[in-house]
Chains A and B, each alone.
Chain A
Amino acid sequence: MASLDNKSPQEISDLLDEYGIKHGPVVGTTKSLYVKKLKEAMAKGKKAKPSSDKTYYREEEEEVTYVYRTPSKSETSGDGGSYMRSRREWAEGEYGHDTSYSSYSSSRPEYKGRDLVDEPYMYDTPSTYSSNSYAKPMKSEPVKPKAQKSSRLIPLWLQFVFFLALAAFLYLVFSNMEANEAIKGIV
Chain B
Amino acid sequence: MSSTSQKHKEFVAEPMGEKPVMALAGIGEVLGGKLEEKGFDKAYVVLGQFLVLKKDEELFRDWLKDTCGANAKQQRDCYGCLKEWCDAFL
Contacts and interface: CB of A to CB of B under 8 A. Distances in A.
Q: Do A and B bind each other?
A: yes
Interface of A: 22-25, 27, 29-30, 32-33, 36-37
Contact of B56 (A22, A25, A27): A22
Q: How large is the interface on B (under 10, 10 to 19, 20 to 34, 35 or more residues)?
A: 10 to 19
Interface string B34-63: 000000000000000100111010110011
Report, nearest first, the 3 A-B pairs whose CB atoms are least far apart. Answer: A24-B54, A33-B63, A24-B53
18 contacts: A22-B58, A22-B59, A23-B54, A23-B59, A24-B52, A24-B54, A24-B56, A29-B49, A29-B52, A29-B63, A30-B63, A32-B66, A33-B59, A33-B63, A33-B66, A36-B62, A36-B66, A37-B62
A12 to B, nearest CB: 14
A82 to B, nearest CB: 41
Contacts of A30: 49, 52-53, 63
Nearest to B40: A29
A30 B67 CA distance: 11
Contacts of A29: 49, 52, 63
Contacts of A23: 54, 59
Interface of A is mostly: helix
A37 B62 CA distance: 9
B56 A33 contact: no
B59 A24 contact: yes
A89 B52 CA distance: 33
Contacts of B62: 33, 36-37
Nearest to A24: B54
B66 A27 contact: no
A25 B49 CA distance: 11
A23 B56 CA distance: 8
A32 B62 CA distance: 11
Contacts of A24: 52-54, 56, 59
Contacts of B49: 29-30
Given A22-B59, A24-B56, A27-B52, 18 more contacts: A22-B54, A23-B59, A24-B53, A24-B54, A24-B59, A29-B49, A29-B52, A30-B49, A30-B52, A30-B53, A30-B63, A32-B66, A33-B59, A33-B62, A33-B63, A33-B66, A36-B62, A36-B66
